[in-house]
Structure 1
């Protein structure tokens, strides 16, 4: 009965999950090629620089991707006007992004990574990969889920092909890989714009943008804070443990990230449903069921991956084999990380953008405090890696308390 009532949503989810399955396989090929061609230290630097690029990419257009997505979802005829607004916002945001990037380099990477490869990695994430993601977001907003999933697979495949080419080239330096990486992401962005973005007539309508500005900026801040709290661990591990430790940790968390792909498809569908019917969350059994589903799928994915690596330790290469035994020590982390993202999407989908930013800021501060406490005790990797579970339990409890209190307050005001 439930499936029959939501046949369109189920079909959309299956389309996206199919894309996620393809992306998972291709992402593994990409990960194996890069992680086993670069040294562990260079991989740690690359992963941390990439994480910083992902965080800073949320400043692009000062968050105007949020109004763009909402318009694609509910008022498609205005897409041309909002596309022009996004382009204008992107140009205006570039000086702020350049300043933030320079400060990031001086605070985090100076002495460990040369400026040129750092700039290329950030350009790849901020200008090219983010543009590809935005085309996917708009495509999903237009209910073209199969096309969006295909674009995700194509973009990931381009990165994988280039990574394999890099591995075959005989080069092993991060300097060289940064050139390969920026070329792959640029190709993904061009493909997305030329072949997947809907054909629209650009119209510059400032009065429309001003009305959406507060929402866009708050979403940009919240997105930035989400990725700060999500990626902060890589930066802290690099700063407190050095490139080698950062490399091992980045490998563990990359494998954890791969388990989240099916969950993110579900979250995309849920957010669209919430935009149209926010009362969906009023039913307690549904809220509990959603959380349980996210947790079970995430944990099952990590267990499957840990089992494969226990039986075949060299399946993902010699470098990854050094991190593989530690994977089972973070058993609860995939579920808890995905539930943090789930809470964030609940607040976004119900229009609670300001409280979402507050929640994410508090989580980032808590994560920084707890991880610093864990990483400064002089523990070995086998000792501090399991403590990451406790850090994420604390973050989950904090997130759940703040999120559901905010949603309860929204319900009272509606009543």
Structure 2
């Protein structure tokens, strides 16, 4: 059941990028550069969200029949999609607008609140008499709903929401390319869990998902840094022109990420159940993925560089290339019928190949002129 939840949630995260056809990007750019237009672009985000619902529903049905049709009831899968796409994604919009306004502390507190509410839901579910996946889906949905409502009421800027369709259509090129690139980004970062489920089964998918979720934790400080860097690059696109500065930033990201994983591996070595019984099953494998967090976070950072410079179409090409390479490499590793620990070790080489491809593409195209909002 945990493997099914992890993969269904990953699918929901990926599909949630369809919401509003990427209009969160103009909303964030407005908050960063032209905050007086937040009310206008909030109206656009709401309008585009409604218009995107049929596409989101169709994509969700295709995903369900491809990966979950024989293992998970459609009603349960739909609850996870609603939780991720219609509740958590709008919550992320609240966080992103606050970050765009420079309120990084508030944005961080909102994320902590959301995580705490999800943990509270997990604790309540553990005490509940019925431990089926369908019941957990309801708890998960409720936690995400409370998170979004509290964030919207307490932290969204008080602006009069206005509709200016003519203004929105001029931004749709950027929005759609961002939506496509976001789907591709999460395709190459979350689709691996669906592949493991399809070719390795729920048990291996559960172990793989646990390891990768712990790897994701190392990205929290990196994403905060990337958010601030993106804002600065929107105003000064050439700030990373020097080779020495590029190397220093990448070395810092890799070091922080690797140290984060080592710290988690050390804690789980002495306290395997510190993060729960499910995590304890994969605890011995965490240290085997030593290079994965740093390389994965560098790939994500390089994608953000292209977004910051307005090179969203090139970002699409990069992410599509990475998604294809990752799917092929992971498929070959799974088909080799490796044990879980051997598979995790080989992930280091897989992510090294992905990083080299990403770095070559990104730093080659960064020489092109940046596009401004």
Partner of 1:325: 284
Deviations 1:207-228 (A, max 9, x none): 2111111000000000110000
Compute the displacement of 1:186 (Å): 0.6
Counting only pairs closer than 5 Å after superposition, residues 297-308 of structure 1 correspond to structure 2 as 297-308=256-267
Is 1:238 the equivalent of 2:197? yes
* Residue 317 of structure 1, CA deviation: 3.3
Q: Name 1:387's counterpart in structure 2.
A: 346
Q: Does 1:156 align with 2:108?
A: no
Residue 111 of structure 1 pairs with residue 70 of structure 2: yes
Q: In 1, distance between residues paired with 2:215 and 2:105?
A: 25
Name the counterpart of 1:205: 164
Question: What are the Cα deviations for residues 293-349 of structure 1, in whole angstroms up to 9, with x where unaligned?
Answer: 100000001111111112222333333222111111111000011001000100000
* Equivalent position of 1:12 in the other structure: none
Partner Cα separation in structure 1 for residue 272 and residue 109 of structure 2: 32
| 1:147 matched to 2:114 | no
Distance 1:240 1:107 in 2: 12
- Does 1:265 pair with 2:230? no
SS at match of 2:102: coil
- Give the drift of 1:76: 1.3
* Distance in 2 separating the partners of 1:398 and 1:314: 37
* Counterpart residue number, 1:356: 315
Structure 1 Cα separation of the partners of residues 268 and 353 of structure 2: 29
1:293 aligns with 2:252: yes
The within-5 A match list for 1:6-405 is 42-405=1-364
TM-score of the two chains, using structure 1 as the length reference: 0.88
User: In 2, Cα distance between the equivalents of 1:317 and 1:153?
Assistant: 19
1:67-119 CA-partner distances (Å, limit 9, x unpaired): 01001111111111111111110000000000000000000001111111110
Q: Deviations over 1:116-159 (max 9, x none)?
A: 11100110000000010000001111112222222112222111
- Residue by residue over 1:378-397, the C-alpha shift from the partner in whole angstroms, topping out at 9 and shown as x without a partner, is 22112222111111011000
Q: Using the alignment, how far apart are the partners of 1:262 and 1:240 within structure 2?
A: 33
In structure 2, distance between residues paired with 1:393 and 1:170: 45
Equivalents in 2 of 1:325, 1:242: separation in Å? 20
Call closer, same or farther: CA 1:316–1:83 in 2, change over 3 Å.
closer
| Deviation for aligned residue 1:410 | 3.2
Query: CA deviation digits over 1:227-278, x for unaligned, max 9?
Result: 0000121011100111111111111111111111111111111100110111
Residues of 2 paired with 1:307 and 1:78: CA distance?
47
Alignment deviations for residues 142-180 of structure 1 (CA, whole Å, 9 cap, x no partner): 112222222112222111111111111233211110000
Q: Give ranges in structure 1 of 5+ residues lacking alignment.
A: 1-41
Give the 3 Å change call, closer, same or farther, for CA 151–260 of structure 1 in structure 2: same
Partners of 1:193 and 1:315 in 2: CA distance: 32
* 1:244 partner SS: helix
Structure 2: gaps (5+ residues): none
Output the CA distance in 2 between the equivalents of 1:358 and 1:104.
22
Q: 2:278 and 2:182 mapped to 1: Cα distance?
A: 32
The residue aligned with 1:33 is: none
* Structure 1 residues 351-370: Cα deviation after superposition (integer angstroms, max 9, x where no partner): 11000001000100000111
Using the alignment, how far apart are the partners of 2:134 and 2:4 within structure 1? 11
Q: Given the two structures, how large is their TM-score scaled by the length of structure 2?
A: 0.97
